[in-house]
Amino acid sequence: MLKKYARIGITGDSVTDCGRAHPVGCRNTGLGNGYAFFVDTALSALYPEQKIWVDNTGISGNTSKQLLERFDEDVLSRNPDVITVMIGINNVWRHFDIGSYFPESLKELDLPHYESNLRKIIEKTLVKNCKLVLITPYFLEPNKNDPIRKMCDEYSAAVKALADEYGTYFCDVQSAFDKFMEKESAYLLSNDRVHPNQIGHYIIANELLKILETVEL
């Protein structure tokens, strides 16, 4: 279980940002209206005596390279005990929008670069003796042969492999969404298959909370 006064740093892209306050979103300034808010609310309600603190440093549009470039200043400088990272959908998505017109721009977004960037983020975190939760990127499409979903699954597999290699915590939100989509339409979760509504954010938060409740500090 998380220790008293534990600090959790949640970071990623637009799915994490979700309208948070800048430069840092927190309970006092605004965690945004996404899963970071739900995580903080649940921890505050379920474990009030622990006085756990949550920061949100997600930035819309970030790729793995952009997150790596700001990781020291935006995340590690906050001295978190636990860091959660969900990044990758912009690496994938750019292959299907800007990459169609500027293929040379894809080099820094491809899977080898993604793995390298994430590996550096992991190593920076472990050097600081922080616990790390790696969260899969996801695409809200039940058809696993869909080109975007297929590529996203490849990036998610890389996250799982790195989590296994380094012994970090692993949170598979794609699988959680797949269970939902076996019963209901993906459009009950999102209008664009990337940015979830409140139902989708609750699913992410629920999966992340399951992991956070097992973290030993």
**pLDDT given for residue 103 in this prediction:** 57
Q: What is the pTM of this model?
A: 0.95
Q: DSSP E strands: which ranges in the chain? A: 7-12, 53-56, 82-86, 131-135, 169-171
**pLDDT given for residue 58 in this prediction:** 98
Q: Dig out the tokens for 28 from the structure.
A: 């006092």
172: left (phi over 0), alpha (psi -120 to 50) or beta: beta
Is residue 14 annotated as a catalytic residue, yes or no? yes
Model pLDDT for residues 60-119, shown as the tens digit of each residue? 999 999 999 999 999 999 999 999 999 999 999 888 886 555 555 677 889 999 999 999
CA atoms within 13 A on the CB side of 3: 9
Catalytic residue among 40, 55, 153, 195: 195
Give 71's contacts (C-beta < 8 A, 6+ positions apart). Answer: 11, 121, 124
**pLDDT given for residue 162 in this prediction:** 98
Is residue 195 annotated as a catalytic residue, yes or no? yes
Domain ranges of the chain: 7-212
Is residue 72 annotated as a catalytic residue, yes or no? no
Sign of the alpha-carbon dihedral angle for 29, 33, 36, 42: positive
What's 171's DSSP letter? E
- In CATH, what number does 7-212 get? 3.40.50.1110
Catalytic residue among 13, 14, 17, 74: 14
Model pLDDT for residues 160-210, shown as the tens digit of each residue? 999 999 999 999 999 999 999 999 999 999 999 999 999 999 999 999 999
Count CB neighbours of 214 within 10 A: 11
**pLDDT given for residue 64 in this prediction:** 97
Model pLDDT for residues 122-168, shown as the tens digit of each residue? 999 999 999 999 999 999 999 999 999 999 999 999 999 999 999 99
